Amino acid sequence: MKALMSLGALIGVAGLLLLGGMIFDVIPSTTVRLVEGYMPMQMLFELTCFVAGFAGLSYMMSVMGMPFPRFWQGIGFWAFILLYLKYRVYPPIPFSVRAMYGTVSLVAVFMWVSASEEDWKKFKQPIMNVLDAQTGLNRLLRYAYLVILPILIGGFSYNAMVPKSEEPIELRTVHPAPPASTKVHGKTYTLQTSQNPYRVNQEGKYDQEYTNANIVEQGMGRLMKPNANPWDDKNQGYLKYVREGGEIFFQNCHFCHGDNLNGRGLHAFAFNPIPANFTDPGTIAQLQETFIFWRVSKGGIGLPNEGFPWASVMPPWEQHLTVDEIWKVILFEYWHTGYYPRTWD
Instruction: Scan residues 18-37 and list those touching other proteins (CB under 8 A).
Output: 34, 36
Looking at the Cβ atoms of 153 and 217, the one nearer to other proteins is 217
Give the x-and-dash track for 128-167 against other proteins (CB under 8 A).
--------------------------------------xx
Q: Is residue 94 near other proteins by the rule CB under 8 A? A: yes
Candidates 23-31, 114-122, 152-160, 324-332; binding stretch for other proteins (CB under 8 A): 114-122
Please enumerate in sequence order all residues whose Cβ is within 8 A of that of 125, keeping only pairs 6 or more positions apart, or say none. 69, 71
**Contact residue for other proteins among 47, 63, 75, 313 (CB under 8 A):** 47
Number of other residues whose CB lies within 10 A of the CB of residue 212: 17
Task: Output the smallest distance, CB 318 to other proteins, in A.
Answer: 21
72 binds other proteins (CB under 8 A): no
Compare residues 230 and 341 and give the one whose CB is closer to other proteins.
341
- Is 258 in contact with 268 (CB distance < 8 Å)? yes
Helix ranges (H only) for 172-311 are 208-212, 238-252, 254-257, 289-298
Size of interface with other proteins, in residues (CB under 8 A): 72
Binders of other proteins in range 183-242 (CB under 8 A)? 191-192, 212
111 is a contact residue toward other proteins (CB under 8 A): yes
- Smallest distance from other proteins to CB 90, Å: 8
Question: Which positions from 247 to 266 touch other proteins by CB under 8 A, shown as an x/- string?
Answer: ----------------x---
95 binds other proteins (CB under 8 A): yes
Closest CB to other proteins among residues 64, 169: 169
Residue 27, C-beta contacts closer than 8 angstroms, at least 6 positions apart: 18, 21
Q: What is the rounded distance in angstroms from the CA atom of residue 344 to the CA atom of residue 273?
A: 30
Q: Is 64 in the site for other proteins (CB under 8 A)?
A: no
Which is closer to other proteins, CB of 36 or CB of 233? 36
With 0-12 CB in 10 A as exposed, 13-18 as middle and 19+ as buried, what is 269? exposed
3-state secondary structure of 47: helix
Among 169, 203, 205, 220, binds other proteins (CB under 8 A): 169
- Distance (Å) of CA 305 to CA 173, 293, 300, 316: 9, 19, 10, 16
Residue numbers 271-330 binding other proteins by CB under 8 A = 272-274, 276-277, 280-282, 285-286, 288, 304, 306
Rg over alpha carbons for the chain, rounded to the nearest Å, is 28
Rounded to an integer, what distance in angstroms lies between the CA atom of residue 174 and that of residue 306? 8
User: Any contact of residue 173 with other proteins (CB under 8 A)?
Assistant: yes
Q: Report the alpha-carbon distance of residue 60 to residue 86 in Å, rounded.
A: 28
For 184-340, where are the alpha helices, taking DSSP H only? Answer: 208-212, 238-252, 254-257, 289-298, 323-337
